[in-house]
Amino acid sequence: MTSISTQPESRAEKALLAVLPRSVEVRAAGGDDPFDLIVNGQPMKVKWVGEGRLGDVRRLLADRKRRPDVVVARRLSPGARSELAEAGVGWVDESGAAEVALGTIVVSRSGVNVQRDPAPSGWTASVLAVAEAAVCGVTATSSAMREATGLSTGSCVNALRVLMDLGLLEASAKRGRESARRVTDRDRLLDAYASAAPGLASDLRLEVGVAWRDFADGVRSAGRRWATENVEYAVTGALGAEALAPYLTTVSAAEVYVSADTILGLEGAAVSAGLKPVEGGRLVLRPFPTVSVNRLATVVQKLRIAPWPRVYVDLQNVGVRGEDAAEHLKETLGER
């Protein structure tokens, strides 16, 4: 039976122990040992990388001298798994999936398909909208956030307080509704926002059949028709990223947010653009996920594009190529 002489000290070690065969003998490494565990006599360095996104893994692997033997995360993305495999580093995530080959130890598990996690405690649609605006550079005061997002003053004050409590904002003054706040670490705020966004996303979507060869031109044409019908839209995903920070060589599908809250509303938006719902269609229409996605959208190349943090989040669902594009988008716009 898998055992350890002392209780595993880290979340990473616990996840690794959970996927090892029961017959394996495990003990903790000594205090001065550069390793974390000794598994069947094989020393192992184990490293936790949080959410397990492609960028997390790339930053870890960049330091070749300190590379671990096994990387552990909450849920490693396909791109992160691929990057680790190419580097010859084993991995485990908390879904139970694992690929470890070290000495005589070989573990391969597919894990359990888990449904989308709920948003972390404290996160609501309003908090998400304010975080989105803060990542985009909107000053973290209730008045600036109210103007940027269209939320009420009360909603903005509450959202800023939540972000303060989470340590994602800090204030230079302790009192007053307009106390100056600032982002402590934009990368950390983006990561927290990206972790919360999927849990608050609507499952509502409509696939639309299109024969477009150029998706940018196709959406521009649809956008002109939507304008006459007072339908607001914002492009996200691969097509949005291509407008903001070109990276992908081809874009063969498009994801667009429209001002509709029901499936009938999405169907109406499709019809108003002269399009028909088709299962498996390459154009996907979805409701705006937050008020800030609509309010902070910008026009680039005559396309209305969702704010870059939302495009970054949505790219994570476009496979390995999408993850690469997401990291490029973050590197291009995240420092501005």
Confidence of residue 5 (pLDDT cuts 50, 70, 90): very low
pLDDT > 90 in the chain, percent: 62
Q: Which residues contact residue 140 at a Cβ distance below 8 angstroms, ignoring those fewer than 6 apart?
A: 134, 160, 163, 169, 181, 182, 183
Mean pLDDT calculated for residue range 294-315: 96
pTM of the shown model: 0.80
Note the pLDDT tens digit of each residue in 8-47.
457 888 888 888 887 788 887 776 677 888 888 888 899 9
Which domains are present in the chain?
Answer: 11-110 (no CATH), 125-200 (1.10.10.10), 206-333 (3.30.460.40)
Q: Which residues contact residue 209 at a Cβ distance below 8 angstroms, ignoring those fewer than 6 apart?
A: 275, 276, 277, 278, 280, 281, 282, 283
Is the confidence at residue 280, as pLDDT, over 50? yes
Report the pLDDT value the prediction gives residue 95, as an integer from 0 to 100.
Answer: 86
Note the pLDDT tens digit of each residue in 84-127.
999 999 999 988 899 998 888 888 888 776 666 677 889 999 99
Report the pLDDT value the prediction gives residue 7, as an integer from 0 to 100.
Answer: 44
